[in-house]
Amino acid sequence: MGKTRRGRRAKQSGHGRHRGGEEPPRVHGDQPGLAECALRWWPFVAGTLAVTAILLGTYLVAGIAPRSPGASAAEHSVRSAPAAPPLARGHRSAGGGPVVAGSADPVAAGRPISSYTTRFKAGEPRVRNIQLGAQALDGTLVGPGAVFSFNRVVGPRTRSRGYVPAPAIIGSRLVNDVGGGICQVSATLFNAVFQGGMEIRKWRAHSMWMPEYPQGREAAVAYPQLDLTWRNDTGRPVLIRASYTRASLTVSLWGTRRYDVGIERSKAYAFVPFTSSIDRRPGCVAMAGGRGFQVDVWRVLNSDGRRVRREKFHTAYQPQARVRCA
């Protein structure tokens, strides 16, 4: 009995401990437990999860701010900046790349300052000249403190540049001249600048008043002597946009408004009667006739509800002769 017990203890001891204190060899067919699998494979699982998280994060960031291949950070900033308003149906953008007048940052010119529209008869020869002038003007960026020159930006109005003969005011008559009608572009721009409150440096009204423009608020140009110039005194860049339809032209200014603008105008006074005549020369341009007169316009600049200054613009128009072509 005692011998049998000792034999049993010896067998149990042999199965319960391997020599050298090592774990007993695993018999073929034994499977590792759940805890042992977790300990063995955890480093590989953790590494895989980390790599997946990094790739997923990169993908999400790229999806939030997609860019075309090779686009720089600066290009992406320009695309994300506030843009000029989309043109309405029936209009077209009249420009190419921006023409910089002074140092300016195109990203900053993104808020509406002012806009003005003038109209004309569709199909007239002058429409071609208006469109060319608008194309040259559109996209111009005027830097802070820079002085804009209409003649410098638009350039000479010549046949080689696509301009055609059309009626133009010369003295007290309308005559056909290459580039006739370009003054509608300068007059529309003048009104946008006038309403935008920017400093008008050099301007002169037409010798005769034409119904396309408000009395005393228009600017004539003739390359290279007679020019329209104004200074961007807003402290930020100003972007000029010009668009047209078959019968209208719109010029808009984008940037940062400095002043609130009020406009006052006197009644016409000091009238001068017109004369009548018959013109038998080739190329005669008929004229309806109209009295000459004078008019005063005031621009009131306000800031934070207080008047900064009141500017007077005086214009004396010559009478428009009545001309009948024979």
Global pTM reads 0.70
pLDDT mean over 289-298: 97
Cα–Cα distance between 252 and 122 in angstroms, integer? 21
Which pLDDT belongs to residue 285? Answer: 93
Res 94 pLDDT > 50 = no
Planar angle of CA 259, 109, 227, nearest 5 degrees: 70
Provide the token pair at 56: 């997923």
| Residue 53 pLDDT class (50, 70, 90 cuts) | low
Mean pLDDT of the chain: 77
| Residue 170 pLDDT class (50, 70, 90 cuts) | confident
β-pair type (141-142, 306-317):
unpaired
Which pLDDT belongs to residue 272? Answer: 97
Query: What are the tens digits of pLDDT across the range 302-312?
Result: 999 999 999 99
pLDDT mean over 23-31: 39
* Torsion angle of the four alpha carbons 84, 195, 186, 297, in this order, in degrees rounded to the nearest 10: 170
Query: What are the tens digits of pLDDT across the range 230-280?
Result: 999 999 999 999 999 999 999 999 999 999 999 999 999 999 999 999 999
Cα–Cα distance between 320 and 208 in angstroms, integer? 6
Res 55 pLDDT > 80 = no
Which pLDDT belongs to residue 3? Answer: 44
Query: What are the tens digits of pLDDT across the range 151-168?
Result: 999 999 999 999 999 999
Which pLDDT belongs to residue 69? Answer: 31
Res 297 pLDDT > 60 = yes
Which pLDDT belongs to residue 101? Answer: 56
CA of 79: how far to CAs of 67, 106, 138, in Å? 10, 11, 18
pLDDT mean over 94-106: 46
The torsion angles phi and psi of 233, rounded to 5 degrees, stand at: -105, 20
Res 193 pLDDT > 70 = yes
Cα–Cα distance between 156 and 210 in angstroms, integer? 23
User: What is the percent of the chain with per-residue pLDDT over 90, rounded to a whole number?
Assistant: 63
Res 209 pLDDT > 70 = yes
* Residues sharing a CB contact under 8 Å with residue 80, sequence separation 6 or more, in sequence order: none
